[in-house]
Amino acid sequence: MSFHYSAENIRIDDGHILRARLQRVDGEWNDSEIDLDNHLGNDNGYFQWDGVGFSGSAQNVEFSIEGDGSVPVLRATLTDGEGNGQTRDVNLSERVANNDGNFVYN
């Protein structure tokens, strides 16, 4: 299950830190964060999982829930190898999950 189904106040801070209150197994809430720069890179204008530092070449970074509330999307304009901005998005639930109130990268 995607992390956002058990989260509230989801946001992106500083263009790369995903923060939210995540629900634990016992029903309590935990403030959690994950630095997406440690897991996402920019490969010639495309998001790259298992990369690093995407935010260093990104602008207009934003987060939204799309697709009838089922897809947590990170969207940004990434610079390609020629210096052009490419608007790209990535489904964060592909690799980010909630493990008992803490963000984990899979």
Closest CA to 100 of 32, 23, 16, 45: 23
pTM of the model: 0.94
Q: CATH homologous superfamily for 3-105? A: Cyanovirin-N (2.30.60.10)
With 0-12 CB in 10 A as exposed, 13-18 as middle and 19+ as buried, what is 10?
Answer: middle
**Segment 2-28, tens digit of pLDDT:** 899 999 999 999 999 999 999 999 999
What pLDDT, in 10s, does the model give residues 22-74?
999 999 999 999 999 999 999 999 999 999 999 999 999 999 999 888 899 99
What residues does each domain of the chain span? 3-105
Interacting residues of 53 by C-beta distance below 8 A, sequence separation 6+ = 37, 41, 42
Look at residue 1 in the predicted model and tell me its pLDDT.
Answer: 61
* Cβ–Cβ under 8 Å, residues 103 and 33: yes
Q: What is the pLDDT of residue 69?
A: 81
Q: Do 12 and 30 touch, CB atoms closer than 8 A?
A: no
